[in-house]
Chain A
Amino acid sequence: MSEAYDQEALRGPHVIEYPFRRSCGPVLSRFFSGLRDGKLVGIRSQTAGVLVPPAEYDPQTAEALEEFVDVGPAGEVVSYAWVSSPRPKQPLQRPFAYALIKLDGADAGFLHAVDVGGDEASIAIGTRVAPRWKAERVGHITDIECFVPESEAQPAPPLTEPVEEPVKSVTTPIRLEYDFRAGKAQSVFLRGLAEKKILGAKAIGGDLVYVPPRGADPRNAELTPEFVEVADTGTVVTYSIVRVPSDNISFDLPYVCINVLLDGSHIPFFHVLQDCPLGEERIGMRVKAKWAPDDQLTTSVASIEYFEPLDEPDVPFDQIREYC
């Protein structure tokens, strides 16, 4: 087992973001259009009374529901939890309660935040609350900033530009931040890149080399703690052409993604091909890594900027068929 393998795993920030836009359907469209217009709308069910937010179907009988009912906007707290240390993104950044609120005219609890000025003693089961509306509402659950004691509540201010169209979709961006840990084998590989080396994991027995290494040999489920340097030259075994723009693409469109079988390795390695006129990319072509300048080498695949064509004869398909 190599010394490098036993070093502490690399870690780094990792962010996942999705700008989710969801269509509402006719029932939630009524609810969100109502929020935009400053009112709360529920729906009557046979078995559970008036539900807010409105459900499409009865929770017990699955019967389709269609009788909309205006509710609230005030109601009473039926249960709550006191959040003394709010987390980022939560509706309030001072101590508040998440509560189930039974709106006047409704039967099921409605989940939202309640602001009582940061004072836990000011909320109890039975406390009367009403919405604190945003001035500019778009048809989203956060059009209600939170609920407040009923005596402090104000009616929803009219929109500066009223909208007639019903709300058709809601947008809820998701951003999750991670402190990602690369694990043992990938840490060895990434540290190698910072030294301008491509390190592959040797399968037990040494017959195959995996680049990038994932940690184990899938043929026998054994760990792969031994590493060997492979060449930064290889053969394109398949490719695809990217024509769709995306925020995180730094290459000019269209460009070619390649799976390259590095000389000395036995699984293809994914990267980008540049300095090759579109149309000349092909299976079997020889390529070489274009490394970042020495002072920009890091523990990242970005240490290889791209692959570029190598002036060598193509490898016949029969020799790489297994990897294509």
Chain B
Amino acid sequence: MRDVAIVSFAQSNVAVEDRNEIEMLLPVAKEAIEGSGLARDEIDFTCSGSSDWLQGQPFAFVMALDAVGSWPPIKESHVEQDGAWALYEAWVKIQTGEVGSALIYSFGKTSPGDIAQVQALQLDPYCGQPLWPDLDSLSGIQARSCLEAGVVTEKQMAEVACQALRNAQSNPHAVRKGDYTVEELLAKPYRVSPLRDHDCPANSDGVTVMVVVAGDRAKQLCDRPVWIRGFDHRIDPPALGVRDLTRIPSAALAAEKAGAADDKLDFVEITAPYSHQELILRKEFGLADDVQVNPSGGSLAAHTLMSCGLNRIGDAAVRIAAGGGDRALAHAGQGPCLQQNLAVVLEGD
């Protein structure tokens, strides 16, 4: 395996973005590239993650390339997934030896459309999508399964939200934050019972950019490279009725294959758009009680679809680089009831 380090990271999340994809992405890409110490033409490969359905602009993913400089032609690829999967593709390409560095970016702009309807399009198009269930409802079904099985309580869900919103107060990229008590949150009305507003993701528009570099070059570029020590992604069956919704086996397997349990974790950054999903994931990852979860606030504080997973990885890397820990698990999750899961283990030098 080639050692690959995250050498630079930048993000932007706002509640509603007025600029087009190029205009939102360009300044953040510039910040990340300048932060990497590499010149633009020293970056071997570019890989992005986005979905044009979100803002309703066909081929926005192609247009966005203008923002990172696409002429003369560059070597690039795109996944219709969270940018975390674009990072995976770049990491694999580096493992093949074909390239030694990569720029990864993702963007999500959900404010122009009806995110609930757009997300229904990811369901089984024969029997699921035509009923137009929104993700709040499907996640509500999952949450109630967990409540019924005694896997979570509404109080624990509120505790997760309290902690996330408190952590978010020190995250300049959070769009929802605050200091609440569990009692205050539990007194709020349901949005889609058993979920309240704070149990649901804080949708935002934004972009994320990361630069990764292999081997010694990474050591030259930064004081404390943050190394990718393990990387894996897995998927659960698409039919909700087939899954045990109190479990997310694909997340557990991805973390295991990435080697999360091989050594002590100082903290984790995970993608749990709904509060009960954080509680499920803690169990799936076998986290000790003293492991801090989502110092960033996670998706309850800012949830830029297609970017939030890459944000978790970047947030973890920035924290390690700054000395806020030596070893962390970062996780990205996508799909109804977190069907698709990706885990990456990061270590500081």
Contact = CB atoms under 8 A, between A and B. Distances in A.
A71 to B, nearest CB: 12
A9 B19 contact: yes
B282 to A, nearest CB: 21
A206 to B, nearest CB: 17
Contacts of A183: 18-23
Given A81-B136, A184-B23, A214-B22, A51 B131 contact: no
Contacts of B192: 81-84
Interface residues of B, number: 64
Contacts, number: 188
A1 interface: no
A182 B17 CA distance: 11
A100 B193 contact: no
A217 B23 CA distance: 11
B67 interface: yes
A172 B116 CA distance: 17
B190 interface: yes
Nearest to B132: A89
**Residue with the greatest number of chain B CB neighbours at <10 A, chosen from A87, A111, A174:** A111
Q: Sort chain A's interface into a size bin.
A: 35 or more
Nearest to B19: A183
Contacts of A83: 137, 192
Q: Which 4 A-B pairs have the closest CB atoms?
A: A81-B140, A183-B20, A109-B241, A221-B69
A232 B239 CA distance: 55
A223 B29 CA distance: 12
Interface string B126-139: 11111111101111
Nearest to B67: A216
B4 interface: no
A48 B198 CA distance: 35
B152 to A, nearest CB: 13
A90 B132 contact: yes
A221 B68 contact: yes
A81 B71 CA distance: 50
A223 B23 contact: yes
Interface in B236-295: 237, 239-242, 245
A177 interface: yes
Contact of B138 (A31, A81, A219): A81
A98 B55 contact: no
A83 B136 CA distance: 9
16 contacts: A32-B126, A52-B241, A53-B127, A81-B192, A82-B140, A91-B132, A110-B241, A176-B56, A178-B56, A179-B113, A180-B55, A181-B19, A183-B22, A184-B20, A214-B63, A216-B22
A128 to B, nearest CB: 17
